[in-house]
Structure 1
Amino acid sequence: MSSDSSELRPLPHRAARHASAVTPGWATGRARPWTGPHRDLRLLRRACRWQRRIAALTALGYFAVFLTLTVQTPSLMARPAPGGLPLGLFLALAQLPVTWLAVIFYELTAHRLVDPLARRVRRQTRDAQARP
Structure 2
Amino acid sequence: MSSDSSELYPARHRPARHASPTPGPHSHRASEVRAPARLRSWTGPHRDLRLLRRASRRLRRVATFAALGYFAVFLTLTVRLPSLMSRPAPGGLPTGLLLAIAQLPVTWLAVILYEFTARRYVDPLARRVRRYACGADDGEGRP
Superposed CA RMSD in Å reads: 1.6
Between the two proteins, the alignment pairs up a number of residues equal to: 106
- Residue in 1 that maps onto 2:114: 106
| Identical pairs, percent | 73
Larger Rg: 2
CA offsets 1:90-125 (integer angstroms, 9 cap, x no match): 000010011001000100001000100000000100
Between 1:31-40 and 1:61-70, the stretch displaced more is 31-40
- Residue in 2 that maps onto 1:18: none
Corresponding letter in the other structure for 2:113: F
- Residue in 1 that maps onto 2:74: 66
From 61, 65, 76, give the equivalent of 1:57.
65
CA offsets 1:31-54 (integer angstroms, 9 cap, x no match): 211011111111101111011000
CA–CA separation in structure 2 for the residues paired with 1:107 and 1:115: 10
TM-score (norm 1): 0.76
> Normalized per residue, which structure has more helix?
1
**Which one scores higher on RCO, CA 8 angstroms, separation ≥ 6?**
1
Unaligned runs of 5+ in 2: 1-34
CA–CA separation in structure 1 for the residues paired with 2:107 and 2:92: 23
The 5 A counterparts of 1:22-41 are 28-41=36-49
TM-score (norm 2): 0.70
